[in-house]
Amino acid sequence: MDGSLNLVIFSMVMLFGSYLAGSIPLFMSLSEEKLQLVSVLGAGLLLGTALSVIIPEGMQTLNMAYSINNKEHHHAEGGGEEGEEHHDNPVPHLIGVSLVLGFIFMLIIDQIATSKSRDIEVGGRRAPVSWTATLGLVVHAAADGVALGAAATTNQTDVEIIVFLAIMLHKAPASFGLVTYLMHEGLERTRIRRHLLVFSLAAPTMGILTFLSLTVHGRANLDTLSATGVAMLFSAGTFLYVATVHVLPEVTNLGHGHGAGSGDSGGGFSKTEMIVLIVGAIMPLFLTMGHHH
């Protein structure tokens, strides 16, 4: 029950951490530069975690499921032809499909949220705009929960910790940003706290639901292995979307503003931000260096 205990601990830390981070603007103002660096580090960690932790782990899980299925198939047929093995391997196709579906899923959700908020702005009603902003972030957080829940089924603490860190480091600035936006929209504090609570609950709830749905037939089950692999790769696709389409462009745009003041004619990332981004992307590689499951 190692994986489930870790998941419960991480979910609780994530819930309270996200809520506390979001509560900061209600009590004190954090400097834009510090928030910027946390966002850059979060983006780097998301990229690094997706590319060097979740994708390899998902591939390995799918390959394990395929090899178990192959062995069972050979035992059933008395060790028949091994030549067909290479032609029938669906794993490479599944990897690509899962990644693309995760990316497209986030793209569609994003477009729906954006068009809804645009429609509402045209209609001149301001209150529902805040809900579309929260809804978009809640879906992002739910996809993060899928990654954490799938990581928990692998029963490998180092993988869980890296996925948790990547999620937490981009959830904290996201909850902070959400509350700042809602305050700017003029919502009263009780309603802001309600929005923040919904956002904070999304990832832990989805993480636990994913873990339970994947382990319902037992952890060593062939279907569980395949589903875990697909879920991890799907969530890697969502990680890549959030990092490349959301966090990095937003941070770069902010960088343009800072760049103008600091004499950088091209804008974009400052040297410090670039170093922080690279450190964030490389960090998961170092954390999984001794990992050879």
How far, in whole angstroms, is CA 159 from its chain's centroid? 14
Paired tokens of 96: 């690509």
> Model pTM greater than 0.75?
no
Paired tokens of 248: 């990095």
Boundaries of every domain in the chain: 2-70+90-287
Amino acid at residue number 197: L
Rounded to whole angstroms, the Cα distance separating 18 from 22 reads 6
pLDDT for the residue numbered 62: 85
pLDDT for the residue numbered 261: 41
pLDDT for the residue numbered 180: 73
Rounded to whole angstroms, the Cα distance separating 195 from 210 reads 23
For the chain, which residues score pLDDT lower than 50? 1, 81-82, 84-86, 126-127, 256-265, 292-293
pLDDT for the residue numbered 287: 67
Q: How do residues 243-269 score in pLDDT, each as one tens digit?
A: 787 667 766 666 544 443 444 445 577
Paired tokens of 286: 């170092």
In 3D space, the residue among 44, 42, 47 whose CA is nearest the CA of residue 239 turns out to be 47
pLDDT for the residue numbered 169: 74
The DSSP secondary-structure symbol of 30 reads P
Residue 167 near residue 147 (C-beta atoms within 8 A): yes
Rounded to whole angstroms, the Cα distance separating 13 from 27 reads 21
At a CB cut-off of 8 Å and minimum separation 6, what does 107 contact?
A: 241, 245
Residue 45 near residue 284 (C-beta atoms within 8 A): yes
Q: What are the distances in angstroms from CA 227 to CA 50, 119, 218, 236? A: 17, 38, 12, 14
On the 0-12 / 13-18 / 19+ scale of CB atoms within 10 A, 195 is buried
| HSE of 216, CA atoms in CB hemisphere, 13 A | 8
Rounded to whole angstroms, the Cα distance separating 128 from 116 reads 9
